[in-house]
Amino acid sequence: MKQDEWTLTAELAALELGGDEKQRLIVQAEQMRELYLSMSSADVDDLEPTTHALVMENRVRRDEARTFKDVDVLLDASNELDDRFFLIPNIL
């Protein structure tokens, strides 16, 4: 893009830039454009699609229902109960 096009882009974005800022924006935007163009020309035909750059295993345990054996211990430690239910303060 030409300098005039970057200047117009800054004006359309309602950016108030001084002369030095405007020139830095032009240089940085042109660098980003060059990087995008180099990435868009990369051959990725043989690459398998991924949803994340780093393929990692899920570190969260499985969500499995388990029976807790010491329910009475928890209920005895609670500040407030209604029958066998915990009472918590209203937030809203």
The predicted-structure confidence for 51-86, as pLDDT tens digits, reads as follows 777 767 777 778 889 888 888 898 888 888 998 888
How sure is the predictor about 2, in pLDDT bands with cuts at 50, 70 and 90?
low
What pTM was computed for the model? 0.40
- Parse the chain into domains and list their residue ranges: 3-40
How sure is the predictor about 23, in pLDDT bands with cuts at 50, 70 and 90?
confident
Degrees (nearest 5) of the Cα angle 33, 39, 41?
A: 105
Contact 30, 3 (CB under 8 A): no
Write out the H or E segment, with its range, that includes residue 53: none
Of 4, 66, 52, give the one whose Cα is nearest residue 30.
4
Between 12 and 90, where is the model more confident?
90
